[in-house]
Amino acid sequence: KQEVTQIPAALSVPEGENLVLNCSFTDSAIYNLQWFRQDPGKGLTSLLLIQSSQREQTSGRLNASLDKSSGRSTLYIAASQPGDSATYLCAVSRAGNNRKLIWGLGTSLAVNP
């Protein structure tokens, strides 16, 4: 059974720091992995999608990597800003069954001015 874990559950950093959020999964047979951002009381915004055949994806200050063999993905945020404060969620879908996402519980990030 696929399980997704995100560590740490919460993170507080000063503005300007580069930071890494971690996501681990137990079954390497994934179709893709997607990182989302959720602001309090809001919906989910897709940040990056990594297909199983890819190693990383980049969008602006964000870079996500995928290592299926070790069951890990990292989301790197460069030069963090207070506007980056949110909960970051990762989710994986199984190979051959991209209908179902398995979710981590998220990392709550606070970037302090």
Task: Please report, as ranges, the residues that interact with another protein according to CB under 8 A.
Answer: 32, 34, 36, 41-46, 49, 51, 89, 91, 98-101, 103-106
- Taking the least distance from each CB to another protein, the nearer of 37 and 111 is 37
Write the secondary structure of the chain as one string of H (helix), E (strand) and C (coil): CCCEEEECCEEEEECCCCEEEEEEECCCCEEEEEEEEECCCCCEEEEEEEECCCCEEEECCEEEEEECCCCEEEEEECCCCHHHCEEEEEEEEECCEEEEEEECCCEEEEEEC
CB of 100 to another protein, least distance (A): 6
CB of 29 to another protein, least distance (A): 18
- Taking the least distance from each CB to another protein, the nearer of 38 and 74 is 38
